[in-house]
Chains A and B, each alone.
Chain A
Amino acid sequence: MSRLKDLQKNLFGGTTSNARQFGMIFTLVAIVVLFQILTDGLTLRSDNLIALFQQNSYILILAIGMLMVIVAGHIDLSVGSVAAFAGILVAKSMTEWDLPWPAAIVFGLAIGAAIGAWQGFWVAYIGVPAFIVTLAGMLLFRGGNQFIGNAQSIPVPEGFREIGSGFLPEFGPNTGYNNATLLLGLAAALAVVWREIQARKTRRAMDADPAPMWISVLRMAIMVGVIAFAALRFASGRVGTSFPISGIILLVLVIAYSFYTRNTAGGRHIYAVGGNSRAAELSGVKLKRVNFFVMMNMSVLAALAGMIFVARSAASGPQDGNGWELDAIAAVFIGGAAVAGGIGTISGSIVGGLVMAVLNNGLQLMGVGTDRVQIIKGLVLLLAVAIDVYNKSQGRFSIIGSLMRPFRREDSAPPASPPDAEREPAKAAVSG
């Protein structure tokens, strides 16, 4: 039993928030396995995995920003409209004003920053609730999109499409795989091992108990196994396809924002503000600046998401961004964030977003219509949050966890996790 406790405590961290995440990862793996069986192996086939990442990268990028907004105790309903507004302006800038596409991307991010500054100003400095500000923004920028685009679709040039539908290039000897993707996988595996060693060193230097050796090894083995599996899958798609560029953008953002929210003062301030804004302010946190930053950051990411969608669709259209805010918010809450703010992690939100994405994809592969898919997604969202709320009131960490407890053996392999899910117990997310 003590080994099991070790496992529970150390594999993905020991706090309730992390245990919740453990539950979500478990759910994700269960859903993947379920659909893998139901769809006769289509779910984990390379072309489907590649499509899954391409289709959902923009929602997951939104979820990163939305997590920070929700942790700070706000909400942003305008992301879909902001994405559509930036998308149409960027498309116009390239087709009508002949802006080269790299400049157009910078232009798009600048639009996002300007819109974010506008919304952040009302939220942080005037004190209008974010719900109202972004509800207004939702109407404002949706209208702006229709006004500028005249309800028409505007195509974008080839170069720009790469950020939404491009892949890592093919080079080097013919190994039967995409070499760039293999190298990326190798780098990720080395990073995981290096991090584990660093973490052990740090804990020893701090005279803290390092996790038992076998746990460290097991954790690394699982991570490397998952990375190797994913890299090979992504590298073995049809020639010309490999790990998508939009996936790379997502990975970079996940790593950067995870570091920011976990390991920097600025990031911790967001949790402090969301946990108790008065206490945070009295402790010297610049409340207005934090609120301004999270709202502005959200709109920049929304503009980026909009551009990626436009690039993937090869055109900006009047329907872009419809309903995105709800997908992003659902991902964040399924991923374990608290409605009241102060609790939640980037990696949790990504896992939450992936649960929705795999569910969507699996049901579509089975030929289930969108009407029923929406019903199922609605129920999953409600159940995930209900279980969380119920367990908090019961002081337990997870129904799935407590159900599984009697069946667990010491040698039972715990579920695998995506590369970003690993974390250090000492720095786990807690409210400020």
Chain B
Amino acid sequence: MRKFFGTSVVAISAAAMLALAGCGSGRDGDSDSGGEAAKGFAANSLIGVALPAKTSENWVLAGDLFSNGLKEAGFQADVQYAGASTTVADQQAQITAMTTKGAKVIVIGATDAAQLSTQVAAAHAAGAKVIAYDRLIKNTPDLDYYVAFDNFKVGQLQGQALLDGMKAKKPNGPYNIELFSGSPDDNNAGVFFDGAMSVLKPEIDKGTVVVASGQKEVKQTAIQGWKAEGAQARMDQLLTSTYGSKELDGVLSPNDTLARAILTSVKGAGKPTPVVTGQDSEVESVKSIVAGEQYMTINKDTRNLVKETINMVKALQAGDKPQVNDTKSYNNGSKVVDTYLLPPVAVTKANAAEAYASDPKLAPLTK
């Protein structure tokens, strides 16, 4: 028994020493996070970009633009997409891996904007700057910047285009319109609607514009899940109930998918085409605008959004404060985030060729 203990003690202490030696000394990374931020970082540093699953063309395009743009600017780019089924967990793991690899800036297009605060805090603590891309990350004081298109402005442009379009067709009112809004669980849907109403409300109050069905509340106008069939069904029902003898002059639609569904419904009922707004510059809608059916859409050029984000990264690298143009409106629940808002562009038949000139997919459609 004594021999047993003797050899054990020797062997075990040897193993422990070995482990100790392999570990080096003490804790790391607690001293260098403070002063360095002001000075910027090396020009060939790693920049992480975590994007949602590859389910929409737009994200794939953004990923390619980030890879190429960051490389051109001299950075090492690590662009990752979340998997198709386990999106949130994947994105959490990817952000953590980027932090471990020592990324200096992490750009996040969140899959679920409320479920990343732990990872954002860890990245921040490790000295990385975090930029929320397109979707504001909620409930974290550790988010540094937010870059996105101005969604309130999108609504305003839609409202204005609706008024302009109706005036061009029929110089004098009153005009009969109907209102549609996006999915109630999408934060942006409310912002679009509020933006549009900020333009339409004064006209409605004056009586020059009439919502003939009387359905003006978001609860009544919302289309669950942005579903085309939902919009078509609601339009069918409005045409039957309200527009038996009245003429429908315009429809406020928050995006292109719903706009086309509304036009399908109107066509089916054999009514003249009203002025219909849209958003997103979808291929089918651009065709429809050129053909004179849908009146307008919004162009939110991903190229510009990515370019602006990379400009932010460059500014951070040089140790400057990135340019922001809104330090008041975007409260994520923990703090007001410094934001750079890009202006969206309203596109009608008149300016389509010009607006899509730099877009290889849409430009041929406008010729």
**Which A residues have a C-beta under 8 Å from some C-beta of B?**
42, 45-48, 51, 55, 150-155, 161, 164-165, 176-177, 189, 193, 200, 213-214, 216-218, 220-222, 224-226, 228-229, 232-233, 236-240, 309, 312-315, 317-320, 322-324, 327, 360-361, 364-365, 367, 369-371, 373-374
Contact = CB atoms under 8 A, between A and B. Distances in A.
B82 A370 contact: yes
A233 B22 CA distance: 10
A371 B12 CA distance: 44
Interface stretch (B111-119, B171-179, B190-198, B314-322): B111-119
Contacts of A153: 112-115, 138
Interface of B: 3-4, 7-8, 11-12, 14-16, 18-20, 22-23, 25-30, 54, 78, 80-83, 85-90, 92-94, 96-97, 99-101, 111-118, 122, 125-126, 138-140, 185, 333
Nearest to B140: A314
A312 B114 CA distance: 11
A60 B146 CA distance: 35
B125 A240 contact: yes
Contacts of A189: 12, 16
List 3 A-B pairs, minimum CB-CB distance, nearest first: A225-B15, A176-B26, A153-B114
A312 to B, nearest CB: 6
A36 to B, nearest CB: 11
Nearest to A154: B114
A309 B115 CA distance: 10
B23 A233 contact: yes
B93 A360 contact: yes
A221 B28 contact: no
A228 B16 contact: yes
A319 B100 contact: no
A161 B116 CA distance: 12
A55 B93 contact: yes
A370 B90 contact: yes
A277 B336 CA distance: 62
Contacts of A360: 93
A221 B11 contact: yes
6 contacts: A217-B4, A239-B27, A323-B86, A365-B97, A370-B90, A371-B83
A236 B26 contact: yes
A164 B100 CA distance: 19
Contact of A317 (B23, B86, B96, B114): B114
Given A220-B11, A364-B93, A371-B81, 13 more contacts: A153-B138, A155-B138, A177-B27, A189-B16, A213-B4, A218-B11, A221-B12, A228-B20, A239-B30, A314-B118, A315-B115, A317-B115, A319-B112
B239 to A, nearest CB: 29
A351 to B, nearest CB: 20
Nearest to B96: A51
Name the residue among B25, B93, B97, B116 with the largest chain A CB count within 10 angstroms: B97
Contacts of B94: 364, 370
A367 B82 CA distance: 12
A371 B28 CA distance: 33
A238 B92 contact: no
Nearest to B5: A197
A364 B18 CA distance: 29
B118 A161 contact: yes
A239 B101 CA distance: 18
B117 A322 contact: no
A367 B14 CA distance: 37
A232 B23 contact: yes
A322 B126 contact: no
A217 B115 contact: no
A236 B115 CA distance: 27
B81 A370 contact: yes
Contacts of B101: 42, 365
A361 B101 CA distance: 12
Contacts of B118: 161, 164-165, 312-314
A358 B16 CA distance: 24
A72 B180 CA distance: 54
B338 to A, nearest CB: 22
Contacts of B126: 47, 238
Contacts of A155: 114, 138-139, 333
A315 B139 contact: yes
A315 B185 contact: no
Given A177-B27, A322-B85, A361 B20 contact: no
Contacts of A51: 96-97, 99-100, 122
Contacts of B28: 46, 236, 238
B32 to A, nearest CB: 11
Contacts of B99: 47, 51
B14 to A, nearest CB: 7
Given A45-B100, A238-B125, A361-B93, A225 B115 contact: no
Contacts of B90: 370
Nearest to B112: A317
Name the residue among A239, A319, A371 with the largest chain B CB count within 10 angstroms: A319
Contacts of B125: 238, 240
Nearest to A214: B7
Contacts of B87: 319, 322
A51 B100 CA distance: 9
Contacts of A314: 114-118, 139-140
A72 to B, nearest CB: 27
Nearest to A59: B89
Contacts of A236: 23, 26-28
Contacts of B115: 153, 313-315, 317
A216 B4 contact: yes
A142 to B, nearest CB: 12
A327 B86 CA distance: 10
Contacts of B18: 225
B97 A361 contact: yes
A240 B122 CA distance: 11
A12 B27 CA distance: 34
A155 B140 CA distance: 11
Name the residue among A46, A214, A221, A369 with the largest chain B CB count within 10 angstroms: A221
A161 B122 CA distance: 14
A314 B14 CA distance: 43
Contacts of A45: 100
